[in-house]
Amino acid sequence: MPGSIPPQPSTTHALSGATIAQAITARTFQGVGVSPGRIVASIRQMPKPVDEPPLGERLDAGASQDDAVASLRTAAQAVHDELKGRARTASGDGRAVLEATALMAKDTMLLNSAAKLIKAGSSAERAIWEAGASVAEMLHNLGGYMAERAMDVLDVRARIVAELRGVPAPGIPSAAAPFILVAEDLAPADTATLDPATVLALVTSGGGPQSHTAIIARSLGLPAVVAAHGVDTVADGTEAYVDGAAGYMAALPTVEQRAAAAAWEENSAVLAGFDGNGTTADGHLVPLLANVGGAKDAVAAAALGAQGVGLFRTEFCFLERDTEPSVGEQAAAYKAVFDAFPGKKVVLRTLDAGADKPLPFLTDATEPNPALGVRGYRTDSTTPGVLERQLEAIARADSASGADVWVMAPMISTVAEARRFASLCAAVGLTNPGVMVEVPSAALSAAVVLREVGFASLGTNDLTQYAMAADRQLGPLAELNTPWQPAVLRLVQLTVEGSALEGNNKPVGVCGEAAADPALAVVLTGLGVTTLSMTARSLAAVATVLKTVTLGQAQDLAHLALSAPSAVEAREWVRAKLPVLGELGF
């Protein structure tokens, strides 16, 4: 057990976790906290998806076909104007997505085909639904950029149907003042238009803690709670308090909760002082790196003080692509990330397609059990050549950049896979191959796997899902699906021990979301991991908490967590020894 903890940063309105816990009432919706932060604001419910108009639905007897066509065109114009208006106030990717969707609402092929169906007797809703399906299919068959527009057509047709029915449009609602977004779950496309200036926090009744929606909430720095059963019953406009660390939303906030939210805002200033260094109180260095999905993230991460990139998820550059990107296109995308970190380490992961990140040119959408299927490195056996071409692109980008490039393969489960990956890297002159340890077999055989490669990076999101046999996306399994599970921590420990065996001495980092939890980051440091990589917005919090313990104390906390009988106790026991967490609201 740790002795005395060194002095912690002072905070203006320090409120302990206990004070807030006492305020929990019947109007509290407990879920799983996935991104810290304390906010008070009104809630907006995400509208339910639009139901398909019944097959064969006809115009009412006696209704005019011309009137039906006219109301369809008016509804389409209203959808266009609404999206265009939102695009004007949005920025970056969100603006581009909104503008592209607005244009689709005026697409002549879409509206003319719907008008034809109305003239043949169909209702306006059914007509636009069917016309949308045919246009989307046609775009999909064209492939490439056009195929990516297919989703926009389907979005637009749902909006037009909602307009015709006079119900709220699907997707993220707009509002005059910033709000807490409450939803069943968010689709990846919803998150593209999620503007942190408008959406202050995210609460979902479904979703799991390791889902990519949770990851995106963290990367945007939004307080977020998932699996909060019953939040969908709270009326639109109700004022609520969200605590993303404690994992709950409370309708009608108390005085204490309002004070906690105010204190959180003030404490942001403490965290703004991050100097880019990851070190314990006694000077043990733990480089803090960023997880990125492309150049934009990399530039933002460098600005937030990341000392490099510990995980570049290359598949994020090509999601929704129907065809394999060319070597030149890939090299340009990779170089743009390397260029954000001249002279610094950038760990690039080869395409991790499959499960919740399907890439149509690599994965089979009909697999019955995609998380256990042909995903990550395994796609090399079913689609040979793609990995070699990606490595060629990486080597090309590496030789044109000043970054210190490391390359690793996802979902490695055997020594033979690690060996083959290393030989493919060597063939294109990439001299520092590594593996992700996210399948328990790799953790259990770390000593022999690490003989083949230069480093390992623990993917605790998948390692947890596979160790606990619990789908990382499922809300009902959230209690199992936490890296605080002592069994998962033991796999981390075994990997670190394996890396030291037989004179290996290979670096073992963590790039799963566990590294972004400041208390768990201390435990991982105590277990001996050499680097921590996380969403850049978590860097300051992790650095602040790490600085309050010595390496010896971190080791004691690691043993404490390993000895706990459950994930809940492991977390509680460790957090009780780190009062700085309560003060900072983590």
Which residues form the interface with Mg ion (CB under 5 A)?
Answer: 438, 459, 462
Enumerate the H helices of 346-385 as residue ranges: 379-382
Nearest approach, Cβ of residue 158 and ligand PEP (Å): 29
Nearest approach, Cβ of residue 464 and ligand PEP (Å): 8
Contact footprint for ligand PEP (CB under 6 A): 311, 313, 352, 438, 459-462, 511-512
Nearest approach, Cβ of residue 370 and Mg ion (Å): 13
Nearest approach, Cβ of residue 532 and ligand PEP (Å): 12
Nearest approach, Cβ of residue 440 and Mg ion (Å): 13
Beta bridge partners of 291: 311
Cβ neighbours, 10 Å, residue 476:
13
Longest CA span, the chain: 86
d(C-alpha 333, C-alpha 394), whole Å: 10
Q: Which does 417 bind (CB under 5 to 8 A by kind): Mg ion, ligand PEP, none?
A: none
d(C-alpha 307, C-alpha 340), whole Å: 11
Q: Which does 313 bind (CB under 5 to 8 A by kind): Mg ion, ligand PEP, none?
A: ligand PEP
What lies within 8 Å, CB to CB, of 12 at 6+ separation is 263, 266, 267
What DSSP string describes 165-222? HT-PPSSS---SS-EEEEES---HHHHHT--TTTEEEEEESS--TTSHHHHHHHHHT-
Q: Which does 86 bind (CB under 5 to 8 A by kind): ligand PEP, Mg ion, none?
A: none
Say if residue 368 is exposed, middle or buried (CB neighbours under 10 Å; 0-12, 13-18, 19+).
exposed
Q: Which does 335 bind (CB under 5 to 8 A by kind): ligand PEP, Mg ion, none?
A: none
User: What residues act catalytically?
Assistant: 212, 511
Nearest approach, Cβ of residue 228 and ligand PEP (Å): 22
Nearest approach, Cβ of residue 459 and Mg ion (Å): 4
- Per-residue CA distances from 130 to 124, 126, 157, 165, 561 (Å): 10, 6, 9, 16, 56
Locate 453 and state its tokens. Answer: 């490669």
Q: Which is nearer to ligand PEP, 183 or 511 (CB)?
A: 511
Which candidate, 15, 33, 22, places its Cα nearest to that of 267? 15
Nearest approach, Cβ of residue 185 and Mg ion (Å): 20
Locate 313 and state its tokens. Answer: 């998820």
Could you tell me the sign of the dihedral formed by the alpha carbons of 29, 31, 33, 34, in that order? negative
Q: Which is nearer to ligand PEP, 44 or 313 (CB)?
A: 313
Q: Which is nearer to Mg ion, 438 or 471 (CB)?
A: 438
Which candidate, 105, 150, 92, places its Cα nearest to that of 320? 150
Locate 257 and state its tokens. Answer: 């909760």
Q: Which is nearer to Mg ion, 459 or 585 (CB)?
A: 459
Q: Which does 460 bind (CB under 5 to 8 A by kind): Mg ion, ligand PEP, none?
A: ligand PEP
Q: Which does 511 bind (CB under 5 to 8 A by kind): Mg ion, ligand PEP, none?
A: ligand PEP
Place of tokens 């005085």: 255
Could you tell me the sign of the dihedral formed by the alpha carbons of 394, 398, 400, 402, in that order? positive
Q: Which is nearer to Mg ion, 303 or 372 (CB)?
A: 372
Q: Which does 413 bind (CB under 5 to 8 A by kind): Mg ion, ligand PEP, none?
A: none
Query: What single-letter DSSP state applies at residue 279?
Result: B
Q: Which is nearer to ligand PEP, 462 or 517 (CB)?
A: 462
What lies within 8 Å, CB to CB, of 4 at 6+ separation is none
Q: Which is nearer to ligand PEP, 107 or 438 (CB)?
A: 438
Q: Which is nearer to ligand PEP, 115 or 362 (CB)?
A: 362
